[in-house]
């Protein structure tokens, strides 16, 4: 279908609407609902994006109802979040602090009486934290 067919129908709609774009749009939509050739000709330039959006919608719906999603919203479980938070700000070679042997406890920050804490170079702890979060999400997707 050529663009001239669509252009002719657009001119028709504009003439019927006395130049009003809003009214012409409504008329053109009404025409396209009755004329499958016009609808296809108008949608042709956007067909790839329409198909991609339809596929994404179905995949998103399938992901949210899938059995492997836990809570269904993509959120980390409490345990996974605790592991990520435990790893934040630590060097990879630094062992995890044991919260008294309990598996579910999170380590506490050192008290001021423990002495000064060595500051990481600007941005280094943030970078390590982001890498830890990324690794946690990557590990979750692999499972």
pLDDT of residue 109: 52
Same domain, 106 and 63: no
pLDDT of residue 69: 47
Q: What are the tokens at 129? A: 């934290």
pLDDT of residue 39: 94
Q: Which of 107, 101, 57 is nearest to 82 (CA)?
A: 107
Q: How far is 46 from 50, CA to CA, in rounded Å?
A: 6
Q: How far is 39 from 22, CA to CA, in rounded Å?
A: 18
- Domain count for the chain, please give it: 2
Q: What are the tokens at 52? A: 């991609």
- Judge residue 123's burial from the number of C-beta atoms within 10 Å of its C-beta, 0-12 exposed, 13-18 middle, 19 or more buried: exposed
pLDDT of residue 134: 80
**What pTM does this model have?**
0.42
Q: From 36, 69, 102, give the residue that closes a domain.
A: 69
Walk along the chain (143 residues) and give the pLDDT tens digit of each residue. 568 999 999 999 999 999 899 999 999 999 999 999 999 999 999 999 999 999 999 998 888 776 554 445 566 677 777 777 776 665 555 555 544 444 444 445 555 555 555 555 666 677 777 777 887 777 665 55
Torsion of CA 113, 114, 116, 120, to 10 degrees: -140
Read off the DSSP letter of residue 119.
Answer: P
Q: What are the tokens at 40? A: 């296809």
pLDDT of residue 9: 96
Taken in order 69, 71, 74, 80, is the CA torsion positive or negative?
A: negative
Q: From 17, 43, 69, give the residue that closes a domain.
A: 69
pLDDT of residue 42: 93
pLDDT of residue 140: 60
Same domain, 82 and 65: no
Q: In terms of residue numbers, what domain contains 114?
A: 78-142
């Amino acid at each position: 279908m050529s663009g001239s067919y669509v252009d002719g129908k657009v001119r028709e709609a504009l003439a019927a609407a006395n130049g009003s774009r809003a009214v012409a749009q409504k008329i053109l939509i009404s025409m396209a609902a009755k004329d499958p050739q016009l609808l296809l000709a108008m949608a042709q330039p956007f067909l790839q994006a329409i198909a991609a959006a339809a596929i994404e919608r179905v995949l998103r719906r399938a992901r949210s109802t899938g059995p492997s999603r836990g809570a269904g919203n993509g959120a980390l479980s409490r345990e996974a979040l605790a592991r990520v938070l435990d790893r934040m700000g630590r060097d990879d070679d630094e062992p995890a602090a044991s919260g008294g042997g309990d598996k579910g406890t999170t380590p506490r920050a050192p008290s001021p009486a423990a002495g000064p804490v060595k500051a990481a170079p600007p941005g280094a702890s943030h970078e390590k934290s982001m890498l830890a979060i990324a690794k946690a999400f990557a590990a979750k997707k692999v499972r």
